[in-house]
Amino acid sequence: MRRTVPAFVAAGAIGALALTGCGQAGQGSTTTEDGRTQVTMWTHSAGNPAELEVYERIISDFNASQDQYEVVEESFPQGAYNDAIVAAAASGDLPCLLDLDGPIMPNWAWAEYIQPLGISTDITDSLLPTAVGVWNDEIYSAGYWDAALSIFARESVLTENGIRIPTIDDPWTAEEFTAALQTLKDAGYETPIDIGAEDTGEWWPYAYSPFLQSFGGDLIDRDTMLSADGALNGPEAVAWGEWFQGLFADGLASNSGTIGNQEFVDDEVALSYTGVWNALASVEAIGDDLVILPPPDLGTGPKIGGGSWQWAISSTCEEVEGARAYLEFSFQDEYITEFADKQIVIPATEGAAEASEYFGTDGVLRPFVELSQEYAVLRPETPAYAVISTTFETAAKDIMNGADVQQTLDRAVQEIDANIESNDGYGF
């Protein structure tokens, strides 16, 4: 029995080596037949043909434009993408170019997955501030677009019920908003607003932490980034929690239904708190009657989440020059407009917005550009965000389900602070 152990270990080692060998296959600087250096690139856009089509066009234009580099793209489904990156990083097998969701950037920068972007500042200066990822005073990522949330309504429904139509300069106050919901409930809408509470994951902090910020609270103390105490459990945060709980307790919002905007399109709800990506379908279904409204001012002005998918260069990239050349090439207004109009997302440059069919000065979705410029708040730029995000989701769901607000928020603060402490402050 004892003697078999070395054989076991040998067999295991051979197996492990074989697997590592396979893992190395995708790596780095290969040269093509005509002597060009390959630059590998991963995207999360498999399953999104509109987005992929634009990438393919950029890549083929870039590859045709010069004879030094060739960009080779591989796309993953969004659900598996982050896991693929983490696994690739663990085995030292990251591609040169990779895209990432805005709030995760500090975590990956801190973990040294990615390096400072180093592309021309002329480009990054021209982008929407929320489309540029900064950590430790360095730009690590940049994106072609941003997303924004707003409240959709039918103009006719609001007018019939005598509800004032808010504007970006003069949004609903908290009282006005609650009164409007109550009026709509009395008018026969069982739950007058659909805020998408049936969804899970990153949607929760993305959609509902702006309400918290509008009340004057926040997910973490942004001055130090070391504690959530006071920000997430102070009086403003408790006021938010009670307001949020009230939405469900008073039957103003529902926590079930279908993800997306279908209830609003079917006129089962009067208002819908939803994203730009759902906008075009609603415009097509409802036409001129659709109004795109800012979220309510709950104390310190309306807020919406900012930061969407962006591009970064991995720290192990051997062809940094090629990767930068590609990125600089790709940030042309022409491409950004195409992303915006095909995917229905807010173009990151003014020039691209002007050329866009939907987001130009007369475009139907123009309000989103202004919402994003006026009200966007980035999620806290700290490596602790992964923990903050899931903790906030749990706490907000508990509050939705009737848990004691102060207690729930205190517990969330404790969990976040313990995590930050056990990571020696994440470099802050």
Partner 1 sequence: MTVTPPTVAAETPQRATRRFRTTKGRETWAGLAMMAPAGILLVLFLIIPVILAFTLSFTNARLISPNPPRFVGLDNFVRAFTADGVFVQSVWNTFLFALVVVPVQAGLGLLLAVLVNRRMRGVTAFRVIFFIPVVTSIVVVSILWRFLYQPNGLINSMIDTITFGAWSGMDWLNNPQTALGAIIVLSIWQAVGFHMIIWLAGLQTIPEELYEAAKMDGAGPWRQFVSVTWPGLRPTMVFVLVTITIAALGLFVQIDVMTQGGPVNSTSTIVYYAVRKGYEQQEIGYAAAISLIFFVAVLIIALIQRRLTREKD
Looking at beta carbons only, is 55 or 244 nearer to partner 1? 244
- Shortest gap between Cβ of 367 and partner 1 (angstroms)? 32
User: What distance lies between CA 78 and its chain's CA centroid?
Assistant: 12
Looking at beta carbons only, is 8 or 25 nearer to partner 1? 8
Looking at beta carbons only, is 129 or 257 nearer to partner 1? 257
Looking at beta carbons only, is 101 or 333 nearer to partner 1? 101
- Shortest gap between Cβ of 200 and partner 1 (angstroms)? 6
- In whole angstroms, give the CA distance from residue 254 to residue 252: 7
- Shortest gap between Cβ of 88 and partner 1 (angstroms)? 12
Other residues' Cβ atoms within 10 Å of the Cβ of residue 252: 21
- Shortest gap between Cβ of 11 and partner 1 (angstroms)? 5
Looking at beta carbons only, is 16 or 187 nearer to partner 1? 16
- Which 8-state DSSP code applies to residue 285? H
- In whole angstroms, give the CA distance from residue 282 to residue 154: 10
3-state secondary structure of 252: coil
Q: Where are the beta strands (DSSP E) in 1-156?
A: 37-46, 69-77, 97-101, 114-115, 132-135, 138-142, 145-146, 149-154
- Shortest gap between Cβ of 346 and partner 1 (angstroms)? 28
* CA-based R_g, the chain, Å: 24
Whether residue 127 contacts residue 332, with contact meaning beta carbons closer than 8 Å, is answered with no
Looking at beta carbons only, is 99 or 398 nearer to partner 1? 398
What single letter denotes the amino acid at residue 265?
V
Place of tokens 């890549």: 59
Binding site for partner 1 (CB under 8 A): 1, 3-4, 7-9, 11-12, 14-16, 19, 86, 89, 107-108, 110-113, 200, 254-257, 386-387, 390-391, 393-394, 397-398, 400-403, 408, 411, 418-419, 422-424, 427
- Shortest gap between Cβ of 421 and partner 1 (angstroms)? 10
Looking at beta carbons only, is 1 or 25 nearer to partner 1? 1
Backbone angles phi, psi at 14, to 5 degrees: -60, -45
Helices first, then strands: H and E counts in the chain: 17, 15
- In whole angstroms, give the CA distance from residue 212 to residue 243: 10
Looking at beta carbons only, is 54 or 405 nearer to partner 1? 405
- Shortest gap between Cβ of 52 and partner 1 (angstroms)? 26
356 beta partners = none
- Shortest gap between Cβ of 157 and partner 1 (angstroms)? 22
Looking at beta carbons only, is 183 or 419 nearer to partner 1? 419
CA dihedral 258, 262, 268, 269 (to 10 degrees): 90
- Shortest gap between Cβ of 131 and partner 1 (angstroms)? 24
- Shortest gap between Cβ of 140 and partner 1 (angstroms)? 14
What single letter denotes the amino acid at residue 373?
Q
3-state secondary structure of 360: coil
Other residues' Cβ atoms within 10 Å of the Cβ of residue 277: 15
Other residues' Cβ atoms within 10 Å of the Cβ of residue 185: 17
CA–CA–CA angle 361, 52, 328 (5° rounding): 70
Looking at beta carbons only, is 45 or 408 nearer to partner 1? 408
- In whole angstroms, give the CA distance from residue 202 to residue 393: 8
